[in-house]
Chains A and B, each alone.
Chain A
Amino acid sequence: QSALTQPPSASGSPGQSVTISCTGTSSDVGGYNYVSWYQQDPGKAPKLIIHEVSKRPSGVPTRFSGSKSGNTASLTVSGLQAEDEADYYCSSFAGSDNWVFGGGTKLTVL
């Protein structure tokens, strides 16, 4: 059982927007602004796409955005493209130098 809860799947058509949720507790997501998101293509290492809730690393397209409300963080992909089809994971610092991940969401571009 994963510490953070994500929907196992999400989908959208090209050009649409899709939002993936990540629910934790006040001890992780709700307690710190250290939520991050990762994109993982099959057989590849994960890639950081959002850190500190809503910050995008250099080179990450602006169609990826992050937010947080209470114990739930969200990743929104706007203007879906075929290349966005991948697995997405959220993570949060959980205090006491411990990190937790979500179970992952498989995003399908229809």
Chain B
Amino acid sequence: GAGVSQSPSNKVTEKGKDVELRCDPISGHTALYWYRQSLGQGLEFLIYFQGNSAPDKSGLPSDRFSAERTGGSVSTLTIQRTQQEDSAVYLCASIPDRPWETQYFGPGTRLLVL
């Protein structure tokens, strides 16, 4: 079946612009995560959605970052007034139900802020 998809696959933007990154999780998966990975680094947790519960936003690095998940499915990560240090690969992962289950990752969106 279809896996997690993300769009765009690559995004180049100018410093100060806003960007929106999209994640389509696996159908039926109730939980969704956003991570980012800077060049040569491990993954950094950003935000977690589980069903209708309030999201865990503890990993968002600043108030320029926000995310929403509409209808319990598609999620959008928005970065306002982008900075060069926001350049990274942004990864989305979904899981079937329980939080400790296997996470299925998308291919990521490579963001470059000039």
Chains A and B belong together in one complex? no
